[in-house]
Amino acid sequence: MHQDPVSKVALVVLDGAALAPEGPGNAVTPRTLPTLFQAMQEHGHAALQASGPAVGLEEGQIGNSEVGHLTLGLGRVQPSALSRINTAYRDGSWRAHALWDKLADAPRLHVVGMLSDAGVHAHLRTIWQAAELAVQRGIPDVVVHPILDGVDSQAGTAKELLEVLREKLSALGAGVRLGVVMGRKWFADRSGGFELTDVFAAALQGEAALPAFSDAVLEEHMAEKNESTFPAHLAEGGTTIAAGDNVIVSSHRADRARQSALALGRQANVHALVTLDDAVPAERVFYPTQAIEDGLATALGQHDIAPVRIAEDCKFPHVTFFFNGFRKSLGERQIRLPGLSETPEERPEMALSAVTDAIVETMLDRDARGIVANLANLDQVGHCGRVEVVREAAGHVENALARIVAAARRQGWTLVLTADHGNADRMLDDEGRPVGSHSGNPVPFTVIPAEHQSLEWTSREGGLSNVAATILALFGLPRAEGMDAPLLRVHRHERATA
């Protein structure tokens, strides 16, 4: 008789690893990641778009982990929160929102937003849009508190972005002014501890006198340090947040705004553009996040396949909440590994050894049929902008990949390797200056098939939205309705049994 082998498929996301020409600023090469590039050569590969419209972002906007994992999990393109907010601004529906009626009852509104042109967690455009709508709805005093980026946006661009914001705000009239200016280090912490977040909240709430802000002070800081670490300063004529004041947090992504919203909410009435987990009551959210009921996890669940999710703290929401279409769990087993106390720059290995152990151990589990895992190093370390440190991180990723590939072969797993966006592939700009932000380069996609499978590529290019249907094909399952097409055909070979 013949037995059809049971497919077991592991998706491993190499966070921040895109394809780019070799050069001094590229840490994603055959030299640094030989296991990845050998798999691409032996089994074929596709180059997938992970930025712009391919992942629901606007043209020219660089991809990020949130939309990357969301698109991987859905198998189709979903408009991003930033795009939806901008559409609501343009068509007038944001201006007409009922929340403005309550906000307009108070004489003052504070807008707290990250001053970024990257659009990963927030966008400077949303700051001035919120301020403009507040003025149009009759709020006489609008105070804008810009949080300097320098991580998602290009380091060193804070002064330029601040000037753009000032110009936009000045056109709104005398009732709009700047308040506290500070770096994202204290605003964007998502560690679970509140040591940094409390510093942010204390500054915005005026618990101590702040030094006066000036362009010269910012330039002096940025001559030696990143704007993300700029201490809190108060702009001329600005004010801080008083108890009971209304606040809008203009982030369009929850993870790096949640703690700050919670801290401000101890004294202020905090509102948000999107759901910030449990930090802001639903009745104070303009556009609550809506769970998306279908996708890869749902399609697999209909066949009793629930991929185990594996990642360390910083990327755990991405392999769960975002991959599941804004649902924290669909009943799957989840393995969340604690991150190290040191920064990724200080310890480029991060918690990768524990993540790799968990992947290998899951492959040994006879009941496991699927894995979705994230290797965070190339992205998290990539943000430091130091090529030599990122290459060290690549060495750790290479060692992990070698272990994972070996375990997959021993245990009969099909291994899918891809990335959610670029970063470590572009560590220097065209003038040789350090870059710590994401790149818009296409990401690799390759499959190391199990012994009972052979692959026939149908396309060598596409987007992250093509991955879900491809994984279903590797399981021997049809494409789910609404998903983009798979990138290959899978031929399954029977094996003889006694």
Catalytic residue list:
65
Cα→Cα distances 317→54, 67, 325, 471, Å: 21, 12, 11, 21
- Say how many Å lie between the first and final Cα of the chain, rounded: 7
Distance between CA atoms of residues 454 and 493, nearest Å = 8
Give the SS3 label for residue 132: helix
Phi, psi of 145, rounded to the nearest 5 degrees: -115, 95
Q: Is 215 marked as binding a ligand?
A: no
* Phi, psi dihedrals of residue 222, rounded to the nearest 5°: -75, -10
Residues 6+ apart with CB under 8 A from 288: 274, 275, 282
H helices within 381-463, ranges in order?
Answer: 387-411
The phi and psi torsions of 248 (rounded to 5 degrees) equal -115, 125
User: Which CA distances in Å does 101 have to 284, 287, 468?
Assistant: 12, 16, 43
Q: Is 227 exposed, middle or buried (0-12, 13-18, 19+ CB in 10 A)?
A: buried
Nearest Cα neighbor of 445 from 424, 466, 426, 423 is: 466
HSE (CB half, 13 Å, CA atoms) of 472?
Answer: 27
User: Is 271 part of any known ligand binding site?
Assistant: no
**Separation CA 468–CA 350 (nearest Å):** 28
d(CA 1, CA 76): 40
The reply, when asked if residue 313 is annotated as ligand binding, is no
Contact 274, 252 (CB under 8 A): yes
Contact (Cβ atoms closer than 8 angstroms) between residue 423 and residue 23:
no
Residue 353 CA to residue 395 CA, distance in Å, equals: 12
303 annotated to a ligand binding site = no
Q: Is 43 annotated as a binding residue?
A: no
In DSSP notation, 160-177 reads HHHHHHHHHHHTT-TTEE
Cβ–Cβ contacts within 10 Å for residue 253, how many?
A: 24
* Region for 277 from its dihedrals, namely left if φ exceeds 0, alpha if ψ lies in -120 to 50, beta otherwise: left
438 labelled ligand-binding:
yes
Number of Cβ within 10 Å of residue 423's Cβ equals 31
- Residue numbers in the known binding site are 15, 65, 379, 383, 420-421, 438
Binding-site residues for Mn(2+), in ranges, read 15, 65, 379, 383, 420-421, 438
